[in-house]
């Protein structure tokens, strides 16, 4: 949560920092702020609201300076208002900070600083931290880097910070524990960029250093960056990586919203996810990260999947896939529960952690716990080089490309693609799948991108259905088997971007309670694919109809039975049930998208949310 951008170099910092903040706005958009300096402060501007509000208040103001720090906030301590916005300045007026994370012991530090005469104008933990740094600097008469280090060794919590001293405008200190930070390096160290991810500086440099947890960097113009361990001051050789992402990937490409663009990217994202792994000519699935540990996978007594939100729903689909195709018992846990409930991890268990961002705090903590109990942890992440990707013993990237819309779409289908590959591979090696079954699944999987493409063509029909139900206060989603998690995901998509209350249920559970909600104003989305528990779901549909509920059914192409009773049908191409979530998900994403647009909601940045949840 929260996005940080910084620039130090020979260019004007303002446009770089503002554009960068816009790219990082997915990380939080409660308030925004920027400071510009050139030996003295030329401008410090903060506002509740978005980066566009910040831009407005800086119009016709002094924004000169080759040093700048900016911040877009997801509020934790203190309501979203101007005072609580970053950057924060120390009592002397010299030290400046932007911070992503939470300082848990800020209250006790604040009390101590108050007794020493410090004053505070905000309710934030960050203002406490910058004054603690100031206190360390004054007390020890030391350089800024050392003061930051001393202060950080006194705090408990998580942070990615950038700090500078207004009187020393050629140096920025950055540090990280639990929240990501990347440093872009210009030619001959003539300029440096700092950001929560590399997107703000893609057009300026491809050379980047990602700090690891418990590391800090001293960035000085014209000098190589120096990286040290915060705890003991050990020198760390910076690992300069070449960025593979390009600018086009993080722009809207003609779509009205990132979410719509990302829905439409699913054919290529799924293809990129299995490219080089799925070899349909030879019926082989090649996954180095699984192959290198194949004995562990084949001998696993149990697989535990940990994840949050949409990734947790993908994990549920994974459970159905792995149990059905490879006959290995699977449990799916919310990472936030797993980490706090002393889970039983036995020798021979494998933990699979799923996360688009690779930064979700709960999932990261669950991984650390599983590792401490001796588990082998496999990660499925989208963001290359993310904390989870680095923390896991092995793993597979989803290769979906940057997902900017807060609502996960292509991350979900590509996570399921990786899980399908794993399930098929293990199923075939364990002898649970015959060669011909494997062959059929592989052939079908290789056709998924073109089937998704075909499905996207029905967008207009879905838009018409959206227009009918856009004002519904509630909505139910029902599915069975492989499509029960898809029902949960459909409901999550609708509630998070349109603020309509929605719930997903296994279709047969309806009679145990939710059926009481059904009346003529209740839309019910039912996934009724031909190869699922079709007849049973048809009975569920009848039960809803006889209570006057409105049915939006997702059916297999050519279906006539459901068409006769449903109010609306959306057809998906013929596919085996195990692979059907890769198709049934698409119309549900589009339905939520159009409803949210028609309700005038901010689709890409829904209220109260952030893309990457790096707090508990």
Q: Which residues are catalytic?
A: 2, 611
CB of 374 to ligand M6R, least distance (A): 24
Q: Which 586-615 positions form the footprint of ligand M6R (CB under 6 A)?
A: 612-613
Q: Which of 31, 63, 90, 310 binds ligand M6R (CB under 6 A)?
A: 310
Q: How far is the C-alpha of 426 from the C-alpha of 325, rounded, in Å?
A: 8
CA 132 to chain centre: 32
Among 76, 91, 289, 363, binds ligand M6R (CB under 6 A): 363
Comparing CB distances to ligand M6R, the nearer of 76 and 356 is 356
Nearest residue relative to ligand M6R (C-beta): 309
Considering the complex, state which of residue 91 and residue 311 has its C-beta at the smaller distance from ligand M6R. Answer: 311
Within a 13 Å sphere around the CA of 477, how many CA atoms are in the beta-carbon half?
Answer: 26
Phi-psi group of 108: left, alpha or beta (phi > 0 → left; psi -120 to 50 → alpha; rest → beta)? alpha
Asked whether position 585 contacts ligand M6R by CB under 6 A, the answer is: no
Based on CB atoms, which residue is closest to ligand M6R, 350 or 367? Answer: 367
According to DSSP, the β-strands at 31-37 and 349-355 are unpaired
308/528 with CB nearer ligand M6R: 308
500 is an interface residue for ligand M6R by CB under 6 A = no
Return the residue of 42, 196, 355, 420 that touches ligand M6R, per CB under 6 A: 355
Q: Based on CB atoms, which residue is closest to ligand M6R, 219 or 422?
A: 422
Stretch that binds ligand M6R, among 157-165, 352-360, 392-400, 502-510 (CB under 6 A): 352-360
SS3 613: coil
Size of the site for ligand M6R (CB under 6 A): 16
| CB neighbour list of residue 6: distance below 8 Å, 6 or more residues apart | 17, 68, 69, 70, 98, 162, 172, 174, 192, 193, 194, 195
Closest CB to ligand M6R among 164 and 594?
594
User: Is 356 an interacting residue with respect to ligand M6R (CB under 6 A)?
Assistant: yes
Residue of 172, 174, 406, 502 that binds ligand M6R (CB under 6 A): 406
* DSSP code per residue over 394-408: EEEE-------SSS-
Strand-pair category, 215-220 with 207-210: unpaired
The contact pattern for ligand M6R, residues 407-426, with x = CB under 6 A and - = no contact, is xx------------------
Nearer to ligand M6R, 496 or 604 (CB): 496
Name the CA dihedral angle for 555, 556, 558, 562, rounded to a multiple of 10 degrees. Answer: -30
Q: Enumerate residues 456-495 that contact ligand M6R by CB under 6 A.
A: 492
With CB under 6 A as the contact rule, the residue among 28, 87, 200, 309 that binds ligand M6R is 309
Contact segment (CB under 6 A) with ligand M6R among 55-63, 290-298, 351-359, 507-515 equals 351-359
Token pair 């996360």 is found at 355
Least distance in angstroms from the C-beta of 499 to ligand M6R: 14
Q: Rounded to an integer, what distance in angstroms lies between the CA atom of residue 406 and that of residue 404?
A: 6
CB 398 within 8 A of CB 260: no
d(CA 316, CA 338): 15
Q: What angle do CA 195, 97, 183 make, to 5 degrees?
A: 25
CA separation for the pair 330, 523 (Å, rounded): 33
| Among the residue ranges 25-33, 176-184, 195-203, 400-408, the one whose residues contact ligand M6R (CB under 6 A) | 400-408
Report the residue from 496, 559, 577, 604 that binds ligand M6R according to the rule CB under 6 A. Answer: 496
DSSP annotation of 471: T
Provide, rounded to whole angstroms, the least separation between the CB of residue 309 and ligand M6R.
2
The token pair that represents 103 in the structure block? 């300082």
Angstrom distance (rounded) from CA 180 to CA 182: 7
Helix and strand numbers (H, E) in the chain are 20, 27
Question: How many whole angstroms separate alpha carbon 267 and alpha carbon 275?
Answer: 12
Which residues contact ligand M6R by CB under 6 A? 308-311, 355-357, 360, 363, 406-408, 492, 496, 612-613
């Amino acid at each position: 949560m929260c996005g940080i951008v910084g620039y130090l170099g020979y260019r004007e910092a303002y446009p770089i920092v503002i554009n960068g903040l816009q790219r990082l706005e997915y990380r939080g958009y409660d308030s925004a702020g920027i400071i510009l300096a050139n030996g003295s402060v030329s401008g410090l501007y903060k506002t509740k609201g978005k980066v566009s509000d910040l831009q407005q208040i800086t119009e016709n103001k002094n924004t000169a300076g080759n040093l700048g720090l900016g911040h877009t906030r997801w509020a934790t301590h203190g309501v979203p208002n101007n005072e609580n916005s970053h950057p924060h300045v120390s009592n002397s007026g010299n030290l400046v900070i932007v911070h992503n994370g939470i300082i848990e012991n800020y209250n006790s530090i604040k009390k101590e600083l108050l007794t020493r005469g410090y004053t505070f104008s905000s309710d934030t933990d960050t203002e406490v931290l910058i004054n603690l740094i100031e206190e360390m600097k004054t007390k020890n008469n030391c350089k800024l880097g050392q003061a930051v280090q001393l202060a950080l060794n006194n705090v408990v919590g998580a942070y990615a910070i950038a700090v500078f001293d207004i009187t020393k405008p050629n140096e920025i200190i950055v540090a990280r524990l639990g929240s990501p930070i990347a440093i872009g390096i210009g030619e001959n160290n003539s300029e440096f960029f700092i950001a929560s991810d590399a997107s703000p500086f893609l057009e300026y440099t491809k050379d980047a250093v990602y700090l690891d947890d418990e590391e800090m960097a001293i960035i000085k113009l014209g000098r190589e960056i120096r990286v040290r361990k915060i705890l003991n001051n050990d020198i760390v050789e910076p690992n300069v990586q070449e960025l593979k992402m390009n600018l086009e990937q993080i722009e809207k490409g003609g779509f009205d919203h990132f979410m719509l663009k990302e829905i439409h990217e699913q054919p290529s994202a799924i293809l990129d996810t299995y490219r080089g792994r799925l070899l349909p000519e030879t019926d082989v699935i090649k996954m180095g990260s699984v192959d290198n540990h194949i004995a562990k996978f084949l001998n696993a007594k149990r697989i535990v999947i940990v994840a949050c939100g949409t990734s947790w729903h993908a994990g549920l689909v994974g459970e159905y896939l792995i149990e059905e195709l490879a006959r290995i018992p699977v449990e799916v846990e919310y990472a936030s529960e797993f980490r706090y409930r002393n889970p039983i991890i036995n020798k021979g268990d494998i933990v699979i952690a799923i996360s688009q961002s690779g930064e979700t705090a709960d999932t990261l903590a669950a991984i650390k716990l599983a590792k401490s109990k001796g588990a082998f942890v496999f990660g499925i992440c989208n963001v290359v080089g993310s904390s989870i990707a680095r923390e896991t013993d092995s793993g597979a990237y989803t290769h979906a490309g940057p997902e900017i819309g807060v609502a996960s779409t292509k991350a979900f289908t590509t996570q399921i693609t990786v899980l399908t590959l794993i399930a098929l591979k293990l199923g075939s090696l364990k002898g649970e799948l015959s060669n011909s079954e494997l062959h059929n699944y592989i052939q079908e999987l290789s056709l998924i991108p073109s089937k998704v493409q075909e499905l996207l063509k029905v967008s207009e029909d879905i838009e018409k259905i959206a227009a009918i139900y856009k004002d519904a206060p509630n909505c139910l989603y029902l599915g069975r088997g492989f499509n029960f998690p898809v029902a949960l995901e459909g409901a999550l998509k609708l509630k998070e971007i349109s603020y309509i209350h929605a719930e997903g249920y296994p279709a047969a559970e309806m009679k145990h309670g939710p059926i009481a909600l059904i009346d003529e104003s209740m839309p019910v989305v039912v996934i009724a694919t031909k190869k699922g528990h079709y007849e049973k779901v048809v009975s569920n549909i009848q039960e809803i109809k006889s209570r006057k509920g409105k049915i939006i059914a997702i059916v297999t192409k050519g279906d006539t039975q459901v068409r006769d009773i449903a109010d609306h049908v959306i057809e998906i191409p013929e596919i085996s049930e195990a692979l059907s979530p890769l198709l049934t998900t698409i119309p549900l994403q589009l339905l939520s998208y159009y409803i949210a647009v028609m309700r005038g909601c901010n689709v890409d940045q829904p209220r109260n949310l952030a893309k990457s949840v790096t707090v508990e």
